[in-house]
Amino acid sequence: MRKRISLLQMAVFFFTAQVAWAGNIKTEKVTLVGNGIVEFIPVGYDVSRTPSLILSHEPEKKGGVPENWKLVPQFTMTDGKANASLDVPAGTSLYGGGEVTGPLLRNGQKIKMWNTDNGMYRVDGGSRLYQTHPWVLGVRPDGTAFGVLFDSFWKAELITNSDKIEFNTEGAPFRTYIIDRESPQAVLKGLAELTGTISMPPRWAIGYHQSRFSYVPEARVKEVANTFREKKIPCDVIWFDINYMDEFRVFTINNRDFPDPKRMNKYLHDNGFHSVYMIDPGVKVDDNYFVYKTGKEQNAFVCDIYRNEFHGKVWPGACAFPDFTRPETRTWWSGLYKDFMANGIDGIWNDMNEPSVFDGPGGTMPENNIHLGGGNLPIGSHLMYHNAYGRLMVEASYNGMMAANPSKRPFLLSRSNIIGGQRYAAMWTGDNEATYEQMKLSVPMSITLGLSGQPFNGPDIGGFAGNTTPDLWGNWLGFGAFFPFSRGHASCDTNNKEPWAFTKDIEKESRMALERRYRLLPYLYTAFHVAHKDGQPVMAPVFFADPKDESLRAEEQAFMLGTDLLIIPAFAKNPSLPKGIWENLSLVKGDTKGKYQAKLKVRGGSIIPVGKIIQNVNENSFDPLTLVVCPDEDGRAEGSLYWDKGDGWGFQKGDYKQLTFKAELVDGHHLIVKVTDDKGEDQIDFGMIKVEVLHAGHTYKSSGDIAKGITVKL
């Protein structure tokens, strides 16, 4: 039984929990908690009123702050609501804020942090979307950088003026962390030290994904899968939107369209596919429905201020919503995944978890609904917990997937989250629209998420809402094949958006784009491992190639993939590109002449590992492995390859292979490539390795045994 709370007690909690005074607040504690990371705690901060769901752990106190520390936030209260601000050094370029529309360069921008089901980004002009990232990255003119993390998930507004960063909340005082380091990459590593990194994904999850609202019945799913294989267009994942359910009841599968889901998922597995199924938080109110029945028995659902179970309309009709602030609720929710995933399901998609409520105020729950909390989470209003709802849901989902299949790495995608939630789920940029404007917008949106601690992200390629033209699809997939999360998705009321659904020419361009992605899987998987270890973005801004070059700071058409590949979409006009050696890269015959293909350029001084064209990650990429070498002005280059089984946890115990390659020019005409470092216990037989040297617009080739060194004559 729940402990009863009187209306008087609730009124006291909601309306006098915060002291109604205004003005500046002194900083109570200033502590060094890492290399170049300082924690600022204002007077009045109470962890029981502002718990952290952002930090991965409580930071370790390391002593006093350096005497020359200059970045000090100011704390204020306005009508009992806590705020913080930071003066910005002159000439600083500002980035971050997570999932945002608008420009990559965030100077002079304002966003609302109130997770919202914002289809086509039309609510408030896109100033509030599905996720909350109270984080700003600042890059000074000299390339050094700092970051500010506001440790609060209350409803808030983030203002990034060129002279001041402001974070104004509707909640209690909160801690603020400032990271000051030698480069933006080092600052993001510091952010990862505070908030954690992505879990290493299964390799199939970085292949191409195909989705629609919805693929039904079973015959249609098989038709889509078979067409990919017949047309030799690479793909790894087929997605199942809500129509697979029994009248939209979560954790059910309708036996009309899918009479034997185990058989269907086995068919997908046998043909090199994995499956991802949607699970929403709205639970249909039906006493004969096992999810609602068991949830109601243990008081798992959110209540209104009068202690009645809150009901709101979503896809199934009247729904109850799990109160994920309760540890017992999260345990119950986690337990629902075991039998569900036993159908052969590989991944999970948590959608509608802002939470979206069709008939609720502002499309969500009333702000005075009650979350009972538990553990380290206090009782609180929905005003307090709204932005954290999706974050708590994905934690419970992730734990349920782990318990259901402990030997497999979970792949979980979420629409709603907060910074720190990358530890549990990848994300996509929500229900976008099939327009050229939103196609172009998808680049800075995904870059910004990578700069905000979430490297595993991407948009709905082709646009979710509205019909997609052949030209728009060709343009979008031509560079969309290089998003960290690469998925085509379409609404039920739009035209078909599979790679072959347009014209023969578009089908050919689509195949080419995806073949390029699959050839780059060794390089891409290595970049994901770096993201997992150090929090670096997989998709990064061009200025990461040279943080001191201020001419690159606003570039939002071209982008970096990892540290050594430059991607220039076909739509890009006069992009600002980094100086130095950048050689053109061809991965598939004819790709440099394809109308829609992005231009790929390799950084001088780098070595990129690429594989052969494969149709899915179950096939062997290394037959052969090719090392693409682009020497710098001194004739030197370096690169690495990380590889493991692609699933499971053996890599945590040394079952992986990590190689460092170096190349050096000798006698002015011969480049020697060899392995200089070999880590891990996995035994991978690379066999003969090919080397392609890109130099002064020409390609020089050789092959051999890398253990002995491979010589290429220039």
Distance (Å) of CA 30 to CA 36, 73, 96, 136, 343: 13, 11, 24, 20, 52
pLDDT at position 48 is 87
Residues written for the chain = 714
Contact call for residues 212 and 497 (beta carbons, < 8 A) = yes
Look at the chain and report how many structural domains it folds into.
2
pLDDT at position 686 is 83
Determine if residue 225 is left, alpha or beta; phi over 0 gives left, psi from -120 to 50 gives alpha, anything else beta.
alpha
pLDDT at position 668 is 86
Asked if omega into 217 is within 30° of 0 (cis), the reply is yes
Contact call for residues 403 and 337 (beta carbons, < 8 A) = yes
Q: Is residue 619 part of a domain?
A: yes
Q: What is the tens place of the pLDDT at every residue in 137-155? A: 999 999 999 999 999 999 9
Distance (Å) of CA 334 to CA 309, 314, 330, 340, 530: 21, 22, 6, 11, 29
Q: What is the tens place of the pLDDT at every residue in 522-547? A: 999 999 999 999 999 999 999 999 99
Q: Is residue 544 part of a domain?
A: yes
Q: What is the tens place of the pLDDT at every residue in 311-336? A: 999 999 999 999 999 999 999 999 99
Contact call for residues 540 and 534 (beta carbons, < 8 A) = no
Q: Strand 109-113's sheet: what is its strand order?
A: 23-25, 74-78, 81-87, 164-169, 156-160, 109-113
> Which of the pair, 123 or 18, is modelled with greater confidence?
123
546-556 average pLDDT score: 98
pLDDT at position 11 is 37
Torsion of CA 429, 430, 431, 435, to 10 degrees: -10
Residue with tokens 């059910």: 252
pLDDT > 50? residue 399 = yes
Contact call for residues 453 and 198 (beta carbons, < 8 A) = no
Q: Rounded distance, CA 422 to CA 564, Å?
A: 24
Q: What is the CATH number of the domain that holds 136?
A: 2.60.40.1760
pLDDT at position 142 is 98
10 pLDDT band, cuts 50/70/90, is very low
Residues annotated catalytic, as ranges = 351, 354, 431
Q: Rounded distance, CA 441 to CA 459, Å?
A: 10
Enclosing domain of residue 56:
22-195
Task: State which of 142, 163, 195 marks the end of a domain.
Answer: 195
Q: What is the tens place of the pLDDT at every residue in 202-217? A: 999 999 999 999 999 9
Percent of the chain with pLDDT over 70: 97
Based on C-alpha coordinates, what's the Rg of the chain?
25
Task: State which of 155, 178, 195 marks the end of a domain.
Answer: 195
223-240 average pLDDT score: 98
Beta strands in 431-587 (DSSP E): 457-458, 460-461, 486-488, 539-540, 559-561, 565-568, 582-584
pLDDT at position 353 is 98
pLDDT at position 263 is 98
686-702 average pLDDT score: 95
Task: State which of 166, 195, 224 marks the end of a domain.
Answer: 195
700 pLDDT band, cuts 50/70/90, is very high
Q: What is the tens place of the pLDDT at every residue in 577-636? A: 999 999 999 999 999 999 999 999 999 999 999 999 999 999 999 989 999 999 999 999
pLDDT at position 574 is 98
For the chain, what is the mean pLDDT? Answer: 95
Q: Is residue 117 part of a domain?
A: yes
pLDDT > 70? residue 1 = no
Q: What is the tens place of the pLDDT at every residue in 341-396? A: 999 999 999 999 999 999 999 999 999 999 999 999 999 999 999 999 999 999 99
Residue with tokens 């962890």: 47
pLDDT > 90? residue 116 = yes
pTM, to two decimals: 0.96
Q: What is the CATH number of the domain that holds 575?
A: 2.60.40.1180
pLDDT at position 3 is 39
Percent of the chain with pLDDT over 90: 93
Q: Rounded distance, CA 615 to CA 236, Å?
A: 8
> Which of the pair, 571 or 64, is modelled with greater confidence?
571
pLDDT > 50? residue 13 = no
pLDDT > 90? residue 647 = yes
Contact call for residues 628 and 610 (beta carbons, < 8 A) = yes
Q: What is the tens place of the pLDDT at every residue in 429-467? A: 999 999 999 999 999 999 999 999 999 999 999 999 999
12-41 average pLDDT score: 72
Q: What angle do CA 484, 485, 488 make, to 5 degrees?
A: 135
* Residue 663: other Cβ atoms inside 10 A: 26
